[in-house]
Structure 1
Amino acid sequence: MVEHAFKQASEEGQSTDSIETLRRRWSAAKSSGMADELLRNVARTILDEQDAVTLRSLDSSREPSSLDHILALCTLPEVPTGGKGISPDVLADRIAGGWLGRAAGCLLGKPVEKTPRAGIEELLRSNDSWPLKAYITEKGIPDHLLKKYPWNRHYGRESLRENIVCMTEDDDLNYAMVNLSVVESAGADFTTEHIAQAWLTMVPVLSTFTAERVAYVNLLDGVEPPFTAIRRNPYREWIGAQIRSDVFGWISPGDPRGAACLAFRDARLSHVRNGIYGEMFVAAMLAQACVSDEPRVVVETALKVVPPASRLAESIRFVLALPEQESSWPSAVDRLEERYGHYHWVHAINNAALVVAALLYGRGDFERSICNVVMGGWDTDSNGATVGSVAGTMLGRSRLPDAWIAPLNNRIRTSIKSFDKSALTDLADRTCRVAQHSH
């Protein structure tokens, strides 16, 4: 965690001298032979000192973390440009497409989460399933490759083509259910505190990871938002908030700015800067996807809610220009790896760039979009889920390929309180009712 904190501080532009001073102290402590508990105390002290620096620079003019400052930089009109005329039947179809598409894309990427891009290709070429065109199968893969690249231990094997009976549990779907519960009970005026209470009452702590687990523990320690996102949290710009955005987009059809504002209230519990922007951006994409089926329009519209000088905005602009420079998907991913490969494999920025690229190169084709993003590596299940959600929302349930939807058997497993074994279409219907009530 301490090493991640140093890297995060560097990415945020903090002083190299101050980072190196703390790094030397940490190296000296690790090599001193002190007892583990004493070493943990040193780690806490260093993290707290790093947090103090973070707090002083939190609302920079380039990458602010407060909503007022973010919106001051937003170039999207406050009045939504679409959505008022969308019929209830069309909206219901789009939201159902989003839920089912999210599940299918996530399930596709689950077996190879944490497997590097080259490893994914090696596995799939070994049984003639590269390029990817269906759920991943173990059949025909040599034993030595299965040992070299084991399936994801979190239901990876259950997500293989021959074993699929439903959507298995995944945090990429868990938070959509939590947030659905929040907007059902508190409405669109929910607060970050409503989100925090929902986590504590509905989400088992061991079902959380990285920034979410840190924020959860901070809540248990009596820390209040937004400090839950900062205290001893080196994961504050990772992908965690980005995967929690969908419901806010679906209940704001044609209102990407409004969706982004809802997403901000959720994101600030665990993230800052680009971690927040990632959730706002995806929520805005989904709000626009409810009224548009053109990927470039969806992306360009959503980009307007992101501070233009931020690292996330730069990455999205880079991807928007990529199709004119690289015609093939593998070449496009090579370019992304060259430019953003220094980020952790679950960071918000590199994964958001890959998501956008998959949508653009997918050109509205559901299968091509989700397969592209999973073949691209990094956070395969999260990216598969987000691409599946956006593409599924653009197309609607009525236009999704049955080969991807039927294996789900319209059922999802989860440890989220009161949601286990839900029908995905029931979740979509509930979301649609909130959307219609909110607008």
Structure 2
Amino acid sequence: MGAIPDDYLERVYAGVLGKIIDRLGPIHYYVHEKFGLPCVVIDDDISGTFTFVRALEEHGLDISPADVGKTWLNNVIEKRNVFWWGGNGISTEHTAYLNLKKKGIPAPESGSIKVNGLTVAEQIGAQIFIDGFGLIAPGNAGLAARLATAAARVSHDGEAVHAAVLWAAMEAEAFVSKDVDHLLDTGLSFVPSGCAIARLITEIRSWTKQDNDWHKTRQKIDDYHGYHKYSGICHVMPNHGIMIMALLYGGHDFDLAMHIINTSGWDTDCNSGNLGCLVGIMLGLDG
């Protein structure tokens, strides 16, 4: 592991602030200011992020999917913790939890395509819960990718795991680089070159250069990778696509990045949480 940056704690704090800031619509305002709401509200993306990373306290740095699965069982209470308890075969996390607790199926089988099917296994959850593993590995994308793989495979498989690993690696690298293309190249180095996530990123990079307008690029993502292209309630591919788009168009400016990702819709709390955390790390508190 490389040297920890002098401003490491500030950068982690900026990443967490970025993750919990959420907005609505084609907006340039914060909801809590406009409607008199609290700035922080309970959300499954946040609870998962800061629960699953406890695997490192419970099992050490060399964690396996089975270890993280035990952390789920140690910390998660069915229908009481803040997850989407949508039922077996519907909610990916609920399905994995039932596999672990009720059926005795350990991780990574608990989240595998073989056990749960492609539709359940490739939903968005692995990506939305992954920020903690990027935050604890400043400048060490390889470590972040390894930990993210172990954590993601408790509940997910396939492209969902690739998306999570790529994002965690980018977050770790964001402690030492503000070059968005470099961050993407770093993330891509930890996923198979021919996987759907990698191909998606190649397409979006090309579209952003052609379009020079995020609205046009958003429409192309919808046309070619929208929800109508995938089964299930909340597939990772469309949401990952608009996150990459918002990073490319707005990664240099936190407010712009948040405006783009929230205005783009789909799973906005998850997408803005991941993007806000990454851009928060990259730009720091001043950003």
TM over 0.5: yes
Q: Does 1:349 align with 2:237?
A: yes
AA matched with 2:177: S
Task: Give deviations 1:278-324, integer Å, cap 9, x for gaps.
Answer: 11011111011111112222122111111111111110111122221
Distance 2:134 2:157 in 1: 20
1:388 alignment partner, one of 268, 272, 276: 276
2:56 alignment partner, one of 183, 205, 211: 183
The 1:232/1:85 distance shift into structure 2, 3 A limit, reads: closer
AA matched with 1:332: T
Q: Does 1:225 align with 2:107?
A: yes
Distance 2:116 2:148 in 1: 23
Q: 1:277 deviation in Å?
A: 0.6
What's the TM-score once normalised by structure 2's chain length?
0.88
Q: Which has the larger radius of gyration?
A: 1
Q: 1:160 deviation in Å?
A: 7.6
Task: Give deviations 1:205-224, integer Å, cap 9, x for gaps.
Answer: 23333211100011121112
Q: Does 1:134 align with 2:22?
A: no
Aligned to 2:2: 84
Q: Is the 8 A contact 1:95 1:290 kept in 2?
A: no
Q: Is the 8 A contact 1:228 1:269 kept in 2?
A: yes
Aligned to 1:252: 137
Large movers: runs of 4+ above 3 Å = none
Distance 1:133 1:160 in 2: 11
Q: 1:163 deviation in Å?
A: 3.3
2:10 alignment partner, one of 87, 93, 109: 93
2:83 alignment partner, one of 208, 233, 242: 208
Aligned to 1:22: none
1:325 alignment partner, one of 184, 189, 210: 210
SS class of match (1:200): helix
* Unaligned 5+ runs, structure 1: 1-82, 110-119, 121-129, 137-158, 401-439
Distance 1:163 1:374 in 2: 20
2:23 alignment partner, one of 85, 88, 108: 108
AA matched with 2:14: G
Distance 1:394 1:358 in 2: 14
AA matched with 2:105: V
Distance 2:184 2:109 in 1: 31
- The CA RMSD measured in Å over matched residues stands at 1.8
Q: Is the 8 A contact 1:345 1:378 kept in 2?
A: no
Aligned to 2:87: none
1:372 alignment partner, one of 247, 260, 266: 260
Q: Does 1:312 align with 2:197?
A: yes
Q: Does 1:168 align with 2:56?
A: no
Q: 1:134 deviation in Å?
A: 1.2
SS class of match (1:189): coil
Distance 1:345 1:330 in 2: 24
Distance 2:252 2:277 in 1: 12
Q: Does 1:361 align with 2:249?
A: yes
Q: Is the 8 A contact 2:134 2:172 kept in 1?
A: yes
Q: Is the 8 A contact 2:250 2:260 kept in 1?
A: yes
SS class of match (1:238): coil
Matched pairs, number: 272
Q: Is the 8 A contact 2:139 2:176 kept in 1?
A: yes
Sequence identity of aligned pairs in percent? 30
Task: Give deviations 1:177-216, integer Å, cap 9, x for gaps.
Answer: 1133222333312232332222223223233332111000
Distance 1:184 1:170 in 2: 23
Q: Is the 8 A contact 1:108 1:374 kept in 2?
A: yes
AA matched with 1:172: D
* Unaligned 5+ runs, structure 2: 85-90
Distance 2:4 2:207 in 1: 32
AA matched with 2:107: P
The 1:203/1:166 distance shift into structure 2, 3 A limit, reads: farther
Q: Is the 8 A contact 2:234 2:267 kept in 1?
A: yes
